């Protein structure tokens, strides 16, 4: 019995080491290779099939960050993670505030950084279990360790969801504005960033008062961050 348990532990360690090694290789490959899809895209497509949605399609087209106007990245940072260039994947202060709000019973606010969102959207699934949170932390560490900040933001701009089946700024620009992402201005990108808390409930094409208010706030934050931040991206 003891021999069996010893072997089982060895196999478990080997499997864990193999999975960790594969995850490292997968993240390292992102330095040069654009992701062909993401876990969130695949999940949404499978759910659409299960629900019999014949009208569903995944719209995703990669674009290099060098081809985008700088305001594209600035809008996302202003909306989601203004300490993006300063932290190492985790905004500890924001996490502490979120925990305080939870204890006080107030409305929760997300404390996820752009790096955490890339980790979750690219490799994982929605949810709040300890297992998923642990995996999110692991992939976030790998992203910050193996990729430059600019590459992490570039991936985020391409895989962030902006609507039902709409992933990345290229698909969003074409679907909502009938333009290329190169033609969008600060107000357009601020509007896209405004729906990121919940791109299914919040609409780019039918913006609520909340979305418009958030768009104005994001534009103000963009002006506050620029031009110094633009040069760092």
Residue 91 and residue 193 in one domain: yes
Query: Same structural domain for residues 6 and 94?
Result: no
pLDDT digits (tens, 9 = 90+) for 121-153: 999 988 888 999 999 999 999 999 999 999 999
Q: Where are the beta strands (DSSP E) in the chain?
A: 59-60, 161-163, 166-167
- In order of 30, 117, 118, 124, 136, the CA distances from 128 in angstroms are 26, 13, 16, 11, 10
Q: How many domains does the chain contain in total?
A: 2
Number of Cα atoms under 13 Å in the Cβ half of residue 140: 19
Q: 10 and 35 share a domain?
A: no
**Do residue 15 and residue 84 come from a single domain?**
no
Residue 66 and residue 163 in one domain: yes
The answer to whether residues 16 and 57 belong to one domain is no
Do 41 and 135 have their domain in common?
yes
Domain limits for position 14: 1-30
Same domain as 107, residue 6: no
Residue 107 belongs to domain with CATH number: 1.10.3810.10
Give pLDDT tens digits for 64-101: 999 999 999 999 999 999 999 999 888 777 666 655 55
So what's the pLDDT on residue 120?
95
- Percentage of the chain surpassing pLDDT 90? 71
Residues 20 and 107 both lie in one domain: no
């Amino acid at each position: 019995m003891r021999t069996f348990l010893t072997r089982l532990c060895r196999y478990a360690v080997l499997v864990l080491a193999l999975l960790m090694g594969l995850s490292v290789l997968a993240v390292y490959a992102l330095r040069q290779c654009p992701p062909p899809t993401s876990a969130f895209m695949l999940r949404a497509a499978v759910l659409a099939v299960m629900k019999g949605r014949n009208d569903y399609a995944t719209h995703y087209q990669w674009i290099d960050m060098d081809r985008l106007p700088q305001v594209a990245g600035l809008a996302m940072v202003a909306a989601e993670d203004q300490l993006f260039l300063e932290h190492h994947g985790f905004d500890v202060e924001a996490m502490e505030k979120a925990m305080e709000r939870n204890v006080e019973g107030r409305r929760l606010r997300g404390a996820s950084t752009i790096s955490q969102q890339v980790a979750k959207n690219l490799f994982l699934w929605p949810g709040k279990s300890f297992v998923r949170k642990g995996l999110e932390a692991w992939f976030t560490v790998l992203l910050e360790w193996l990729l430059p900040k600019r590459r992490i933001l570039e991936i985020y701009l391409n895989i962030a969801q902006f609507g039902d089946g709409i992933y990345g700024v290229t698909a969003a620009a074409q679907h909502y504005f009938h333009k290329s992402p190169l033609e969008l201005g600060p107000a357009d990108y601020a509007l896209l960033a405004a729906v990121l808390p919940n791109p299914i409930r919040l609409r780019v094409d039918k913006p609520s008062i909340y979305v418009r208010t958030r768009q104005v706030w994001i534009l103000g934050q963009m002006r506050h961050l620029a031009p110094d931040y633009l040069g760092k991206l």
